[in-house]
Chain A
Amino acid sequence: MSKFIMHRLLFMVVTLVIISILSFIIIQLPPGDYLTSYITQLRSMGTDVSDEQIEYLREQYGLDDPVYVQYFKWIGNFLTGDMGFSFSWNRPVNELVWERLGLTLVISISSLLFTWIVAFPIGIYTALRQNSLSDYFFTFLSFIGVATPNFLLALVLMYVSFKYFGINVGGLFSPEYADAAWGIGKITDLLQHLWIPVVVVGTAGTAGLVRIMRANLLDELGKPYVTTAKSKGIPNYKVILKYPVRIALNPFISTLGWQLPKLISGSTITAVVLSLPTTGPLLLDALKSQDMYLAGSFIMLLSVLTVIGTFISDILLALVDPRIRYV
């Protein structure tokens, strides 16, 4: 087991290094360097930038060094918590990202829980009632769920709730709590707004998981040990919940690895539509205004979250299923 964990840990580090290179490439991609555009921007707003200041900034960001030195400077600063400076916000990047990253995490994890809680009973139900009307209904629903882009679902939900209930469902907080400090009131307010993005982000994953759960359970239900257990007089629900369901549960953990990247992606675009104070809208703004330090840091941090999540899910899976450990 410890060998397995070491393997995964090593793999995680390699992944993170490659992701950091990718993020750095994205920072470097826009033509010219960001400092030049920043200085033009400052000058166009009438701020005077002296040559010493420019020299100082160039020095600080190592713009005159070769690319690989710039990379090491950037990643070195990144690791110590200095993520550079956001030119459009005129603030250090790390002041901007943490709260938003936290809220992104809250939405992603709640969506994951939502996915599990909804997919579990529906998966079992449709497998037990195979080819019934309700099975077809849920199958149809889950196909629609997979086919509908997140943002479209958000739009439709927004339209329906505005048109028929007269409420605007955007945002994560009511206006009076938006800038308030964290407390019981703010948390309850958050919970009241949270369900919409959670449903939107979680739907596609739920639909996929229902399909997998149903297929796995159907495979198990036909096996002789189920018949044996039934013939011994164990109540039906006990037979099903105790043995086949336990085996069919495996994908809940094994799909975690690719669910996480999808959840992070999904919450990014949903956040833009519903204007949530998470990473999505800020990342989009940063990319559009070529505020590359901010954008690169976001991409880096979101990927780090995903990779760590995948690592945890690998370990969990190995704990649950002994066969995995020796691959």
Chain B
Amino acid sequence: MAKENNQNGNYEDDIYAASQKELIWMRFKKHKLAMAAGIVLIIMYALAIFAPFFSAQDPHQRRVSYKEAPPHQLHFEDAEGNFSLRPMIYPYNKEVDMETFEDIYTEDESKPTPIKFFVEGFEYEVLGLFETDIHLFGTGDENRPVFIFGADSLGRDLFARIIYGARISLSIGLIGVAVSLFLGILIGGIGGYFGGKIDLFIQRMIELVRSIPQLPLWMGLSAALPSSWSAIQVYLAITIILSLMSWTSLARVVRGRFLSLREEEFVIAARLMGRSPLEIIFIHMLPSFLSHIIASLTLAIPGMILGETALSFLGIGLQAPVISWGVLLQKAQNLYTIANAPWLMLPGLFVIITVLAFNFLGDGIRDAADPYSK
């Protein structure tokens, strides 16, 4: 067992005594970028899970007087120049430009509204366990809401919508990858374990799926979903459509590993002792390349997230009132909107950060899992 206080003395002993898991963890910790990415992802998922707590407004509540209101600026000085640590906002005065009929929002400096923490707001349930109305931040004043990321065309809080949308966008990646993993291990495993003609056939099948352009096919399949389906059904169907095309890279990894492990002594020994193929695959072979699978899984998630975003963006994936990052980006589709309300592109920033983080994390795990790297 590795001991924390033993590092300057017998570090070498630790390495020899460490289990596979501890070795991987030790190597992973050295990968600073991957560690940072891991922390970013933990924050993202925490935001998604506890979305109501972190949002100041109900993401479905429309406020007519805040249509496309720009993000509130946080002030640390009031109009007289008095400094306070507690940030405050100035509520908006709305005017209409009589020539262009555009709404113009100006800050009303006479009504400084401090931001309060752990304030009461709309009621929600925490993980389905208990009800509460405490939110991380807010003004506590129903008539002076705070929009830190601005509002959309119906006057809904964009920040709340983004973190609610994260629930869908982030979970679709996980579920989709789970489905691809199942297909990948099954199909790739069969090919790699049996080899020969079966392997050849499966390899050709993988090549075939890879040579079809994904997006047009995704579009075709998801546009064909019946419009009478409920949001949950569409969500599941989209996930399955996304996984149908993405299992191939996982299958390749699994197949390659199987092929190389098949000839190892411990597998031959297990076979000679009369273990069944399934037992050999799951009890003896799987543990020795589990870390590789985890790495490829991590690297496969971004593709899923981007796929969902693209489909919903085009309007043939998930549909409003469901909130996902792709659905939110649908609002930012034309030049007129993004020129007037560029903050509507913010969900895209979350997509990029998440995809980057998954890529870095996956790279880190892959490097850590490879026993031949230094």
Q: How large is the interface on A (under 10, 10 to 19, 20 to 34, 35 or more residues)?
A: 35 or more
List B residues 326-374 near A (Cβ within 8 Å).
329, 332-333, 335, 338-339, 342, 345, 348, 351-352, 355-356, 359-360
> With an 8 A cutoff between CB atoms, is B215 at the interface?
yes
Which residues, 30 to 58 on A, are CB-close (under 8 Å) to B?
30-31
Which of chain A's residues have a CB closer than 8 A to the CB of B355? Answer: 146-147
Interface: B128 (CB within 8 A): no
Task: Kindly name the residue among B215, B310, B333 whose own CB sees the greatest number of chain A CB atoms within 10 A.
Answer: B215
B214 within 8 A of A: yes
Contact (Cβ within 8 A) A283 B216 = yes
Provide 17 A-B residue pairs closer than 8 Å at the C-beta atoms, listed in order of the A residue.
Answer: A18-B208, A26-B224, A30-B224, A144-B356, A149-B309, A149-B348, A151-B329, A265-B215, A272-B314, A284-B315, A284-B316, A287-B220, A287-B223, A298-B216, A299-B219, A303-B216, A306-B211
B207 is an interface residue with CB less than 8 A from chain A: yes
- Does residue A168 face the partner (Cβ distance < 8 Å to B)? yes
Give Cα distance in the complex from A15 to B212, angstroms: 9
Judge whether A306 and B213 touch: CB under 8 Å. yes
Interface: A156 (CB within 8 A): yes
Q: Quick check: A155 and B332 within 8 Å, CB to CB?
A: yes
For residue A317, give the distance in angstroms from its CB to the closest CB of chain B.
13
Residue of A nearest to B345 (CB): A155
- A147-B352, A288-B315 known; A299 vs B217 contact (CB < 8 Å): yes
- Check A261–B213 contact: CB distance below 8 A: yes
How would you classify the secondary structure of chain A's contact residues: helix, strand, loop or mixed? helix
With an 8 A cutoff between CB atoms, is B204 at the interface? yes
Q: Which of A144, A152, A290 contacts B348 (CB 8 A)?
A: A152
Nearest first, the 6 A-B pairs at minimum CB distance are: A29-B224, A265-B215, A287-B223, A26-B220, A147-B355, A264-B213
CB pair A151–B313 under 8 Å, yes or no, is: yes
A22 to B220, CA, bound (A): 10
Q: By the criterion CB–CB under 8 Å, are B220 and A159 in contact?
A: no
Q: Which of B219, B342, B355 has the most CB of A within 10 A?
A: B219
Q: Which of A250-279 contact B (CB under 8 A)?
A: 257-258, 260-262, 264-266, 268-269, 272-273
Given contacts A147-B302, A266-B215, 6 further A-B contacts (CB under 8 A): A149-B306, A159-B335, A268-B215, A268-B219, A287-B219, A303-B217
Instruction: Take A158-B335, A264-B213, A306-B211 as given contacts and tell me if A26 and B221 are in contact as well, using a CB distance cutoff of 8 Å.
Output: yes
Cα A62 to Cα B79 with chains together (Å)? 77
Q: Is the CB of A11 within 8 A of B204?
A: yes
Task: Say yes or no for B210: interface residue by CB 8 A criterion.
Answer: yes
Bound-state Cα–Cα, A273 to B310, Å: 11
| CA gap between A29 and B223 in the complex, in Å | 9
- The residues of B with any CB-CB pair to A shorter than 8 Å are 204, 207-208, 210-217, 219-221, 223-224, 226, 302, 306, 309-310, 313-316, 329, 332-333, 335, 338-339, 342, 345, 348, 351-352, 355-356, 359-360
Partner among A22, A158, A262, A290 whose Cβ is within 8 Å of the Cβ of B217: A22
Find chain B residues with CB under 8 A from A168 CB: 335
Q: Taking A31-B226, A144-B356, A155-B332 as contacts, is the C-beta distance between A265 and B214 under 8 angstroms?
A: yes
| Contact between A264 and B316, CB atoms less than 8 A apart | no
Cα-based distance from A298 to B216 in the complex (angstroms)? 8
**Residue in A152, A268, A283, A295 whose CB lies within 8 Å of B352:** A152
Q: Is there contact, CB below 8 Å, between A163 and B339?
A: yes
**Could you tell me the distance between the alpha carbons of A283 and B316 in the complex, rounded to whole angstroms?**
12
Are A152 and B351 in touch, CB under 8 angstroms? yes
Inside 8 A of A147's CB, which chain B residues have their CB? Answer: 302, 352, 355-356, 359
User: Are the CB atoms of B215 and A148 closer together than 8 Å?
Assistant: no
Q: A147-B352, A299-B216 are in contact. Are A159 and B211 (CB under 8 A)?
A: no
Residue A172 lies at the interface, judged by CB distance under 8 Å to chain B: no
Whether the pair A269, B310 counts as a contact (CB closer than 8 A) is: yes
CB distance from B78 to the nearest CB of A (A): 32
Asked whether A149 and B219 contact (CB < 8 A) given A30-B224, A261-B210, A269-B314, the answer is no
User: Contacts A257-B211, A258-B210, A261-B211 known; A283 to B219 CB distance under 8 Å?
Assistant: yes
Chain A CB within 10 A, most for which of B204, B220, B333, B352:
B220
Bound: A301/B196 CA distance, A: 34
- Closest chain-A Cβ to B76's Cβ sits at a distance in Å of 29
What is the CA–CA distance of A29 and B316 in the complex, to the nearest angstrom? 15
Residue of A nearest to B353 (CB): A147
The closest CB in chain B to the CB of A23 belongs to B220
For A18, list chain B residues within 8 Å (CB): 208
* A143 and B348 contacting across the interface, CB-CB below 8 Å: no
